[in-house]
Amino acid sequence: MKMINSLLISLQTNIPTPVPKDLPLPLPLPEWLLIIILVISFLAHLVFVNLMLGGTLLTLWSQIKGLKDKKYDLLAKEIASTITVNKSIAVVLGVAPLLSINVLYTVYFYSANALTGLVWIAVIPLVTIAFLLTYLHKYTWKVFENNKAVHISILGLATVILLFIPFIFLTNINLMMFPEKWAVVKGFFNAMMLPNVFPRYFHFLFASLAVTGLFLFWYMSRKNYEFENLLPGFTRYDIQRKGYSLALIASICQMLIGPIVLLTLPSKGMGWNLILIIFTGVAMAIPAMWMMWKGLQASRENIGKNFYKVVILMSITVVFMGSGRQIYRANALEPHQKLVKLRTEEFEQTRKIAIENSKNQISDENNTDMSLAEKGKKVFNQYCAACHKPKDRLVGPPVTEMVAIYKDDVEAMKKWIKNPGKKRADMTQMPGFPQIPDDQLNELTEYILTINN
Amino acid sequence: MDFPMFHLDWLNNRMLIAGIATLHVIINHGLAVGFIPLVTWLEQKGLRRSGTNQITDLEWDEKVYKMMKVAFIITTTIGAMTGVGIWFSASLISPSSIGSLIRVFYWAWFTEWIVFVTEVILIMIYFLSWKKSNSSLRAKIRHIRFGWFLAIASWITMTIIVAILGFMMDPGNWNSNPNLINGFTNPLYLPQLAFRTPMAMLMAGVFGLLLATIFTKYGTKIRQDAVKSISKWIILWAPFTLFGAVWYYKAIPEGMTANMSTAVGTMDFAQYYGLLKYFIIGGVSLSVVIAVIGLFKAKVIRPYMVVLPVVFAFAFLGFFERVREFVRKPYVIGQYMYSNLLLEEDMVVYQQDGILKHATYTSVNEVTDDNKLEAGKNIFMLACSRCHTGQGVNSVVDVFERMYNNGQPLHVDMMTAYIPNMHFGRNYMPPFPGNEAEAEALAIYIRHLQDSGESIEGVQTEGVMINSDYTVKAVINKQNKTNDNEDDK
């Protein structure tokens, strides 16, 4: 316990940090396995998100360039045709990490979602609109042949939306790690301004460009890609150079932004395990960047010689960076998770005692001798008192009226209680009480008939 | 309790989930599960229509392709995103229930996800390879076979999802043996599947009829042939839909009474149940009428005539979903968690100690003479806000005004007396999770809502207040005290 205390000193500030209870259900799988599923499935999702966003940006760039140079217009069309496929894969691959983070970090993730609620749910319509716009753009190439401004604007709008969406996710994923900020956050834009959101955003943006650069290199180098038909005016080498240059420049930018991301991370989740993982990842990227540089220097036919090595090394980098991300989260949340566990267990105890108490109380009440009518009064209070008073009208008529109607026919009253009709136009119809057992019904009617004027 | 409460005071929280989910179900049934087999069948018909030296009837094939294009665009945008939207909205409105369901159904959903990924990849291959497959007869036949695979994959996702839905309504098993197999053996499983399958085909039929009439010109032979074919499809599936709907309809009270006699006994349920009958008859017969006209007088059919059957088929399905939601009440997870996200087993604690004492997100932790209004507001958020609003849809003021049958000022005393007992008379309501002082504070707040016309902000704009007993500091201090006491001993 003393150890937890010392860990938590860094958490204590004047702003209260909540300690909610966790759901009292076990995890469906061992925690480590869920974490592996989360990290791997998230990275798979992210690669396609990168391709979708990177593809959109490059299409926009290429189509604008195409206004003056027709061959770029064709290139834009070719890149555009990959977006709609990549985006579909990005969406379906997003479900597995979403489920996994829900199950692993239920309290943290859902709290961040709620605190940024309106913008969080806006992801759904915004992404839907962006997707519809990309289809509209893809299928109107002919229609807007002579009206490029409109055609480019459609894509421009989709790009703006797709550029905004990562902010929503990053804000959530950032906010969930800092329960100490939950009490100060008022709405999404407030949460977006927390440190680290913006550096991470640019880190993500350049990753998208790097991944897309490598993707286009591969996509347009494929043997069965009818390059000469589809992209007259370019050679494969042109595109390969462009792909590599983009990937290399974006990677260099990552080397500059990476340290900013690391430095703006609040210190609570830092640790040597994190530093080790991150730098191993960087170490893998350096030879890959060197090979790209060499490829760009090499002769035409040798540019792609080390392509698969580059992809493998970069993939390893991505896995390390994704793991680093998870390690920071785990470090940052560990002390708080211990307190949550403590509180959850404490409540279990409270409940056990409360159930015990209420059992004793009920058996005490059952042991005391009561007349039929006294027992009936209890039944009355339970089922009827909400709407009926002895002498005044409440929701329904007063009890004295019932006595007047039913004093000679108890059975009719029982029937009515079980399955009432509607008699009075100015009152709400009474709901039926078929669930009252017969002995209680006897007690109840006995009691009702003791009330007189 | 343990999650900050997102709240939409005008739309109503449940409506957000319901709207997204209903749209998703309509697209899933009408444009995926039912539409793929319809399109594949029509594509196959193109082969028979072709001349001896053609692969397929290209004009026909072009029209069928266009129909598929519409379905493809809608399913991969609105369809896919509303699917994700169900998770997003549930995490906002119902975090405890969706969180609990995922902990139990992780594998079921994971399996469902794998089938879903397969489905999306197949749908892309099917649609994107359509034009290329027209190059040879072998490729075309392979493409059609692909369509049938895709149809099966879509249907399999449905069989799994229905099991998950079925399990959620099968409360006994949640506590004793939370296992997906119970979802398949649930008494409502087969009727529900028997209803949803032909229903999807029927919806696809009416929707397909609409598209076919839009994409073909009036008076052409191709339109008449398309209308006739699709009409046959509708007429084929209509009796199965009727049979499935009636089976499901009959199974609802039976399946539910076994578990929760209360909700089914209420007159509100009876009302829904009575209406459902008309929706079944209306939904199926309107589709059949248009199909019979289409079969015998194909010339007459115009796009606008098909709009009504399409709308009605959507309403029909939507209403079934509404009834399915309703029979769960007062629970969100049968006999485990109430609609307000509080656990049934925790009720005794709240009724003894008060709910405020145990809530993480509240500005006060007990009712005092000075804080009744503020306490009432916190109680409303904790106990009522998942289903009721302050001023919008299903507002708490409205329901009380309706019950007392007048527009008069609400009586605090009456409501205070009523609230702790309401679940006996209104079986779809969970029991009040609080003590007497809290019932009074809530009544005072409801009256204040009536007087002031104030609407209630959720945490998405207001942020959260934290119970002073459950801050990191307080929890550590308390823990240290217990540890010190133990040391002293």
Domain boundaries, chain A: 2-344, 372-450
H-state helical runs in A176-271: 188-192, 197-221, 227-230, 236-264
| Chain-chain contact of A386 with B103 (C-beta, under 8 angstroms) | no
Cβ of residue A28 closer than 8 Å to a chain B Cβ: yes
Q: Is the model's pLDDT at A157 over the cut of 50?
A: yes
- Overall average pLDDT of the A320-324 stretch: 96
pLDDT mean over A203-221 = 96
Closest approach of chain B CAs to the CA of A395, in angstroms?
6
Q: How confident is the model at residue A245 (pLDDT cuts 50, 70, 90)?
A: very high
Ramachandran area for residue B456 (φ above 0: left; ψ -120 to 50: alpha; else beta): beta
Closest CA to A417 of A387, A450, A378, A391: A387
Alpha carbons A300 and B267: distance in angstroms, whole number:
80
* Whole-number pLDDT of residue B174: 64
pTM: 0.91
Give the dihedral sign, CA B35/B41/B44/B49: negative
What is the token pair recorded at B471? 């801050």
Give the residue on A whose Cα is nearest the Cα of B402: A428
Buried b (16+ CB within 10 A) or exposed e, A42-76: bbbbbbbbbbbbbbbbbbbebbbebeeeeebbbbb
pLDDT at A330 > cutoff 80: yes
User: Using an 8 Å Cβ cutoff, are B443 and B415 in contact?
Assistant: yes
Closest by Cβ to A395, choosing from B76, B262, B404: B404
Asked which of A36-40, A104-108, A232-236, B403-407 is least confident by mean pLDDT, the reply is: B403-407
Nearest to A341 by CA among A20, A29, A106, A32: A20
Angstrom distance (rounded) from CA B32 to CA B201: 10
**Angstrom distance (rounded) from CA B428 to CA A267:** 49
Among the partner-chain residues B84, B91, B360, the one whose CB lies closest to the CB of A102 is B91
Q: Is the pLDDT of residue B300 over 90?
A: no
Identify any residues that bridge with B8 across adjacent strands, giving them in sequence order.
Answer: none
Give the Cα separation of A452 and A406 in Å (integer): 12
Q: What is the mean pLDDT of chain A?
A: 91
Residue with tokens 């005393």, as numbered in its chain: B413
Chain centroid offset of residue B291 CA: 29
Mean residue pLDDT across chain B: 88
CATH entry, A372-450, from 1.10.3720.10, 3.30.497.10, 3.50.50.60, 1.10.760.10? 1.10.760.10
Residues forming beta bridges with residue B395, ordered by sequence position: B389
Q: Is the pLDDT of residue B469 over 90?
A: yes
B343 backbone dihedrals φ, ψ, rounded to 5°: -80, 140
Instruction: Check if the beta carbon of residue B34 is closer than 8 Å to that of residue B200.
Output: yes
Q: Residue A9 pLDDT > 60, yes or no?
A: no
The helix (run of H) or strand (run of E) holding residue A416 is helix A410-418
DSSP 8-state code for residue A18: B
**Average pLDDT of the segment spanning B55-74:** 94
Q: Identify which has the larger pLDDT, B341 or B483.
A: B341
pLDDT at B168: 64
- B-chain CB neighbours of A25 within 8 Å are 100, 103-104
**Does residue A346 register a pLDDT over 50?**
yes
Q: Do B99 and A23 touch (CB under 8 A)?
A: yes
Average pLDDT of the segment spanning B2-9: 95
**Average pLDDT for B228-255:** 88
- In this prediction, residue A15 carries a pLDDT of 85
Give the whole-angstrom CA distance, residue A296 versus residue A313: 18
Q: Are B299 and B239 in contact (CB under 8 A)?
A: no
pLDDT digits (tens, 9 = 90+) for B86-101: 999 999 999 999 999 8
Q: What percent of chain B has pLDDT over 90?
A: 56
How far is Cα B436 from Cα B417, in angstroms, rounded to an integer? 9
pLDDT value of residue A453 = 53
Q: What is the DSSP letter of A179?
A: G
Alpha-carbon distance B89 to nearest alpha carbon in chain A (angstroms): 7
Q: A 242-281 residues with CB below 8 A of B?
A: none
pLDDT at B243 over 90: yes
CB A282 within 8 Å of CB A261: no
Q: What is the pLDDT of residue B266?
A: 55
Q: In the structure encoding, which two tokens stand for residue A145, read together?
A: 């042949």
Is A126 near chain B, with CB under 8 Å? no
Q: A354 and chain B: CB distance < 8 Å anywhere?
A: yes
State yes or no: pLDDT of B349 exceeds 80.
yes
Q: By percentage, how much of chain A surpasses pLDDT 90?
A: 73
User: A435 or B85, which is more confident?
Assistant: B85
Query: Residue A427 in contact with residue A443, Cβ under 8 Å?
Result: no
Q: Is the pLDDT of residue A181 over 70?
A: yes
Give percent of chain A above pLDDT 70. 96
Residue B479 has pLDDT above 90, yes or no: no
CA separation for the pair B422, B336 (Å, rounded): 19
Strand, coil or helix: A388: strand
- CB < 8 Å to A229, chain B: none
Q: Are A388 and A394 in contact (CB under 8 A)?
A: yes
Taking contacts as CB-CB distances below 8 angstroms, the residues of chain A near B87 are: 95, 98-99, 102
Q: Is the per-residue pLDDT at B7 higher than 70?
A: yes
- The answer for A 140-199 residues in CB contact with B (under 8 A) is 180, 182-188
Contact by Cβ (8 Å): A75, A62: yes
Which of B168-172, B273-277, B299-303, B383-387 shows the highest mean pLDDT?
A: B383-387
User: B362 with B459: CB under 8 angstroms?
Assistant: no
Label residue A379 by pLDDT band (50, 70, 90).
confident
**Residues B247-299: tens digit of each pLDDT:** 988 887 665 554 444 444 455 667 777 788 788 888 888 999 999 999 999 88
Chain B residues inside the 8 Å CB shell of A393: none
Residue B439 has pLDDT above 90, yes or no: yes
| Interchain contact A40–B (C-beta under 8 A) | no
Residue A408, class by beta-carbon neighbours within 10 Å (0-12 exposed, 13-18 middle, 19+ buried)?
exposed
Alpha-carbon separation of residue B151 from A327, B122, B206, B235 (angstroms): 42, 10, 18, 20
Q: Check residue B361 and give its pLDDT.
A: 96
Answer yes or no: do B480 and A131 touch at CB < 8 A: no
Does the structure show a pLDDT above 90 at B468?
yes
Nearest to B472 among A11, A23, A427 (CB): A11
For residue A413, what are the CA distances in angstroms to A393, A410, A442, A452, B304?
Answer: 18, 5, 11, 16, 56
Tell me the fold of B345-488.
Cytochrome Bc1 Complex; Chain D, domain 2 (1.10.760)
Q: What is the pLDDT of residues A117-146, one digit of tens each?
A: 999 999 999 999 999 999 999 999 999 999
Across the interface, whether the CB atoms of B358 and A26 are under 8 A apart is answered no
Matching residue, tokens 């407030």: A190
* pLDDT of amino acid A371: 79
Residues B163/B172, Cβ–Cβ less than 8 Å: no
pLDDT score for B173: 60
- How many Cβ pairs closer than 8 A exist between chain A and B? 260
Q: Given A186, A343, A394, which is nearest B414 (Cβ)? A: A394
- Give a three-class secondary structure readout of chain B: CCCCCCCCCCCCHHHHHHHHHHHHHHHHHHHHHCHHHHHHHHHHHHHHHCCCCCCCCHHHHHHHHHHHHHHHHHHHHHHHHHHHHHHHHHHHHCHHHHHHHHHHHHHHHHHHHHHHHHHHHHHHHHHHCHHHHCCCHHHHHHHHHHHHHHHHHHHHHHHHHHHHHHHHCCHHHHHHCCCCHHHHHCCCHHHHHHHHHHHHHHHHHHHHHHHHHHHCCCCCHHHHHHHHHHHHHHHHHHHHHHHHHHHHHHHHHHHHHCCCHHHHHCHHHHHHHHHHHHHHHHHHHHHHHHHHHHHHCHHHCCHHHHHHHHHHHHHHHHHHHHHHHHCCCCEEECCCEECCCCEHHHHHHHHHHCCHHHCCCCCCCCCCCCCHHHHHHHHHHHHHCCCCECCCCCEHHHHHHHHCCCCCCCCHHHHHHHHHHHHHHCCCCCCCCCCHHHHHHHHHHHHHHHHHCCCCCCHHHHCCCCCHHHEHHHHHHHHHHHHHHHHHC
**Residue from the list A12, A88, A351 with its beta carbon closest to the beta carbon of B120:** A88
**Are the beta carbons of A95 and B480 separated by less than 8 Å?**
no
Please list, in sequence order, all residues whose beta carbon lies within 8 angstroms of the beta carbon of residue B299, skipping any fewer than 6 positions away: B219, B224
| Among candidates B104, B348, B463 on the partner chain, residue whose Cβ is nearest the Cβ of A25 | B104
Mean pLDDT score, A15-31? 93
- Our CA-based measurement puts residue A313 at a distance from the nearest CA of chain B, in whole angstroms, of 27
CB contacts of A432 in chain B (<8 Å) are: 265-267
Nearest to B421 among A23, A185, A386 (CB): A386
| pLDDT, average across residues A353-371 | 81
> What is the pLDDT at residue B322?
78
C-alpha span between B475 and A83 (Å, rounded): 50
A440 reaches B (C-beta below 8 A) = no
Contacts B175 to A, Cβ<8 Å: none
Whole-angstrom distance, CA of residue A303 vs CA of residue A299: 6
